[in-house]
Structure 1
Amino acid sequence: MPLARIDLSRRVTPDVVGRITESIYEAMTLTANVPIHDKFQIVTRHDDDELIYPSEGYLGIGYSPDIVFIQVTWVAGRSIEAKKAFYRMVADLIHERTGIRKEDVWITLVGNTREDWSFGAGEMQYAPVA
């Protein structure tokens, strides 16, 4: 039950945005046991001065104006191996499908619990069973 927030340059075309969103969703289903059709994503385009990153790089990684920030909120508990596989597959797929450098695919994960989600109707669909 992830929610992906994707922040990128206003210059990115709708076709490339679609390839990015599909890459993230595919990586979730293949590496993190996310169910089919569990695709909730928010894409926000920004002017260049609204995407802030260290121009000198960080941890040995250099960035360009093509940077894509991806924040995924999902239920905590996935293994380190699953997270590493997810990071790798997202960067690989985005690079293969768009040409965006892997170095410009920046990802963070936010974990929470099943009861932190409402998928609509004001209900807690995954409420704990008493």
Structure 2
Amino acid sequence: MPLLKFHLYKGRSPEEIGLLLDAAHEAMVLSFGVPTGDRYQVVSEYDEPHRVFRRPFGISCAAVAGSSSMV
């Protein structure tokens, strides 16, 4: 029984989150043969200012200089 964890920014509607979880479960069923009844998913929601991204290993600062999501 796989456990899927989703880390999302706050602000999505329950319907949007439901669609995401449904699509992820369907992909697990089709791709890995997970039984349809084995659905274990955890959603954590965060405020946007709490994000921290590190520069990818091996990429120079010049390669990511224009990206606002890299710190």
Task: Decide: shared fold, TM above 0.5.
Answer: yes
Structure 2 unaligned spans of 5+: none
Count of residue correspondences: 62
Q: State the alpha-carbon separation in 2 of the partners of residues 53 and 23 from structure 1.
A: 26
For residues 86-125 of structure 1, what are the structure 2 equivalents within 5 Å? none
Q: Which is greater in Rg?
A: 2
Residues 8, 51 of structure 1: 8 Å contact kept: no
If the length of structure 1 is used for normalisation, what is the TM-score?
0.41
Deviations 1:43-90 (A, max 9, x none): 011001223235x77878xx888xxxxxxxxxxxxxxxxxxxxxxxxx
If the length of structure 2 is used for normalisation, what is the TM-score?
0.71
One-letter amino acid of the counterpart of residue 8, structure 1: L
The alignment yields a C-alpha RMSD, in angstroms, of 2.7
Q: State the alpha-carbon separation in 2 of the partners of residues 23 and 64 from structure 1.
A: 29
Whose relative contact order is higher, 1 or 2, with alpha carbons under 8 Å and at least 6 apart? 2
Aligned to 1:35: 35
Structure 1 unaligned spans of 5+: 66-130
Aligned to 2:11: 11
Alpha-carbon offset, residue 34 of structure 1 = 0.4
Residues 9, 51 of structure 1: 8 Å contact kept: no
Regions of 4+ moved over 4 Å: 56-60
For residues 21-100 of structure 1, what are the structure 2 equivalents within 5 Å? 21-54=21-54
State the identity %: 27
